[in-house]
Amino acid sequence: MTHTDIDFDPDLDRLERLSNGVLDLIAAVRLAEGGQYCEALRRDFPDQHDWMERTAMLHEARGETALAIANFEKCITFIRENPDGFDPECEEWYRQKIAGLKARMG
């Protein structure tokens, strides 16, 4: 199979690059730039959950726990509204993440 045999979706490629880019920027502690990527995800891909999850991760990296929790909760709502695109374990992962953040808050 050659690359011409595969349907290339430039939007999907951009979504993946932005989404993974947020993770890279968080790891590099370039949080302002990560925020710009999150905003681009929200603006350009509002029907995908990536922007919610990556925004939650960014807030967590900034120490903004309540905002991180709120965005992880948005992910759960999104999964419930779009169950066909997710494994049952996804919602549980977000629930555990939220519980861990709440425990850190005291």
44 in Cβ contact with 14 (< 8 Å): yes
Angle at 17 (CA atoms; ends 13, 18), nearest 5 degrees: 120
Cα of 39 vs its chain's centroid, Å? 11
CA distance 39 to 3: 31
75 in Cβ contact with 101 (< 8 Å): no
- What is the pLDDT tens value at each position of the chain, 106 positions in all? 334 444 546 667 899 999 999 999 999 999 999 999 999 999 999 999 999 999 999 999 999 999 999 999 999 999 999 988 899 899 999 999 999 999 998 7
Q: Where do runs of H (alpha helix) occur along the chain?
A: 10-27, 31-44, 50-62, 65-81, 88-105
CA distance 38 to 58: 8
Q: Taking the complete model, does pTM exceed 0.85, yes or no?
A: yes
